[in-house]
Amino acid sequence: MKLAEKEVEQIVLNQLDKDIAGGQGLGVIKARIAYDQGIHLSRDTVSRVMHVHVLEGFERRAPGARKIPCVPVAAYAIHERWSGDGHDKLYSIGFPVYAIVDFGSGRILGAWVVPSNRLGHVIAYLFLCLVTSYNGKTCYSTIF
């Protein structure tokens, strides 16, 4: 069954409407049309429609288009912000380490050898233990 040009265009546009963030590329749109509707369109056809209607999507996904903004680290007050991180150097021999550092002073607030430094409940427990050790006076701090 041969579809008319307007029908093909509408099929692609309907699939593009489902992508609210506009992050899906040509291959994903083509695959979603095939999966959802059982209609197999050529890559060139989907590309042509997308270039007409959502050209900015191609520009946004182009290599080198995503720039991560760099901001200088501001001098924070003591206990205003904590930074936590897992250290995997010794993970392979059974000693995963998790540490929390005060961002303003650079002081190591705590370092622990734990069963796994990749589990959220372990990290949450260590954070709560640290807050408790400061008598809860640093509850406004956030862990990053």
Is 142 part of a structural domain of the chain?
A: no
- What length is written for the chain? 144
CA 21, 22, 24: angle at the middle one, nearest 5? Answer: 115
User: Do 56 and 9 share a domain, yes or no?
Assistant: yes
User: Do 52 and 86 share a domain, yes or no?
Assistant: no
User: Do 86 and 55 share a domain, yes or no?
Assistant: no
Instruction: State pLDDT tens for residues 120-132.
Output: 999 999 999 998 8
User: Do 16 and 56 share a domain, yes or no?
Assistant: yes
Query: Tell me, what DSSP letter sits at residue 143?
Result: B
Residue 78 near residue 102, CB atoms below 8 Å: yes
Could you tell me which residue, 24 or 139, shows the higher pLDDT? 24
Instruction: State pLDDT tens for residues 50-99.
Output: 889 888 877 877 777 777 777 776 767 888 888 899 988 888 888 999 99
Is 16 part of a structural domain of the chain?
A: yes
- Structurally, the chain folds into a number of domains equal to 2
Is 140 part of a structural domain of the chain?
A: no
Say if pTM beats, i.e. exceeds, 0.85: no
Residue type at 132 in one-letter notation = T
C-beta atoms surrounding 122 within 10 Å: 17
Is 73 part of a structural domain of the chain?
A: no
pLDDT at 75: 63
pLDDT at 4: 86
pLDDT at 92: 83
Is 19 part of a structural domain of the chain?
A: yes
Task: Report how far residue 114's alpha carbon sits from residue 97's, in angstroms, rounded to the nearest whole number.
Answer: 6
Lowest-pLDDT range, 12-16, 33-37, 102-106?
Answer: 102-106
pLDDT at 137: 57
User: Do 40 and 86 share a domain, yes or no?
Assistant: no
Mean pLDDT for all residues in the chain? 84
Is 98 part of a structural domain of the chain?
A: yes
Is 77 part of a structural domain of the chain?
A: no
Task: Report how far residue 62's alpha carbon sits from residue 58's, in angstroms, rounded to the nearest whole number.
Answer: 6
- The CA-based dihedral angle spanning residues 131, 134, 136, 142, taken in that order and rounded to the nearest 10 degrees: -40
Task: Report how far residue 96's alpha carbon sits from residue 30's, in angstroms, rounded to the nearest whole number.
Answer: 43
pLDDT at 1: 63
Q: Give me the domain span that covers residue 49.
A: 5-60
Is 27 part of a structural domain of the chain?
A: yes
pLDDT at 142: 45
User: Do 11 and 48 share a domain, yes or no?
Assistant: yes
Q: Percent of the chain at pLDDT above 70?
A: 92
pLDDT at 12: 92
Task: Report how far residue 68's alpha carbon sits from residue 48's, in angstroms, rounded to the nearest whole number.
Answer: 30
Residue type at 3 in one-letter notation = L
Calculate helix-pair angle for 43-53, 5-18, nearest 10 degrees.
70
